């Protein structure tokens, strides 16, 4: 928490969601955060809509017997807040 991780409320646009995920991933890498702690830290950084989404997503994954790993959770986050359609549109702009 010393690295002042950014909060995320779920109302930001897709670009800010993508940037938030990159910032958090960079903090995890720099601090050599253990895999089993990453989701707990992210839950701490979520606020408002994102917090409710996170609780629901985690519960759904557990009920389905899915592994609640950082990589799985990150993929769900990006699908929700930075969908393929937005990613594709950004790629076309940069081509």
Q: Note whether 9 and 49 are within 8 A (CB).
A: yes
pLDDT-above-90 percentage for the chain: 23
pLDDT at 93: 44
Report the 10 Å Cβ neighbour count for 17: 21
Residues composing the chain: 95
What end-to-end distance do the CA atoms of the chain give, in Å? 38
Q: Round to whole Å and give the CA distance between 15 and 37.
A: 25
Look at residue 2 and tell me whether its pLDDT is greater than 50.
yes
Q: Round to whole Å and give the CA distance between 10 and 26.
A: 20
> Could you tell me the residue ranges of all domains in the chain?
14-89
Please state the pTM of the whole predicted model. Answer: 0.75
pLDDT digit string (tens) for 48-91?
A: 999 999 889 989 999 999 888 899 988 898 888 886 655 555 55
């Amino acid at each position: 928490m010393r690295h002042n991780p950014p909060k995320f409320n779920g109302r930001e646009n897709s670009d800010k969601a993508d940037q938030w995920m990159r910032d958090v991933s960079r903090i995890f890498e720099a601090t050599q955060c253990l895999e089993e702690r990453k989701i707990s830290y992210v839950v701490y950084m979520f606020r408002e809509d994102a917090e409710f989404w996170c609780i629901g997503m985690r519960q759904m994954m557990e009920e389905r017997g899915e592994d609640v790993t950082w990589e799985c959770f990150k993929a769900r986050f990006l699908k929700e807040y930075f969908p393929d359609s937005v990613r594709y549109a950004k790629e076309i702009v940069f081509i």
